Structure 1
Amino acid sequence: MDLIRFVTDARHAPYGHRSGILQAAYGLLADGGPADPQQAELRSLVDWFERHLAKPSRFTVSRYPRAQETAISWIRGSAREHVVRLRRLVALVEVAGIAVTELRTRRPGYVVYEDDHQVVALPFADTAR
């Protein structure tokens, strides 16, 4: 089971893991860039993910309501359509000047949520993030 994560150099404070590609895309949309045709495609891709990728209800193993949500999301390599669309999203984000790195793992950490397309896990100490 290969899991894939596309990350930028931006870091989530206070946890230190790198921000994912969707976070970068939302930031670009909020800032009004990139140029018009790419902006429309960026919006279209983000809208597609909002419709076709479940929003996990938890990002922690704790049931305590104020627990720190430090889990990170990975896409399953078998979720082909999602991966193809993420790669296009990567291209658009890179055109806007944001470097993106692809991470792969088979050991994402302690799984707190999973479905047919994604795994959300608290990373092990040796898990790339």
Structure 2
Amino acid sequence: MGMTDSDSETTQYIRFQSPHRNTRGHFTGVFGLINTLAREGRLTDEQESFRRVNNSWYDAAYTDPSTVDPTVYDHEINPGAAAWFKPSAAHLIARVPGYLEVLAAHGVDCRMMRSVDPGRVIYEDDVQVVAVPYA
């Protein structure tokens, strides 16, 4: 029995999301929250610059699951699908506090969630899983 067998049982996935359900009944993640503020024109120049630079960094640093599987976030096929960081994604998680500061400045709640079983995994790579929550 290798270590990986017992490790997989206790892997804690991490997600940053709104504590409030959106209009679809799901919890918007940290990137969706800041992108919404940007779309609504609510970010200061400095905040928008931070968002662009860091979103670009994230785009380069890891795979957008929807580029691998276009249906991954399809609301009909995978309702409520959400991405969770693996513990191996510490370098990705390290940049999240800057996003949380921008959200806090606008009174937008965002919480860190931990789960050993975030749902039915429909996508996985070295730093993340996308899971559909159990009904």
Any unmatched runs of 5+ in structure 1? none
- Indicate which of 75, 81, 101 corresponds to 1:91: 101
The number of aligned residues is 120
- Once the two structures are superposed, the pairs formed by residues 1-129 of structure 1 within 5 Å of their partners are 1-14=11-24, 16-56=25-65, 57=69, 58-59=71-72, 67-70=76-79, 71-125=81-135
Provide the TM-score with structure 2 as the length reference.
0.77
Percent identity for Structure 1 against Structure 2? 28
TM-score (norm 1): 0.80
Q: Residue 78 of structure 2: SS of its match in structure 1?
A: coil
More helix by share: 2
**Cα drift, residue 113 of structure 1:** 0.3
Choose 1 or 2 for highest CA Rg. 2
Q: Return 5+ residue gaps in structure 2 as ranges.
A: 1-10
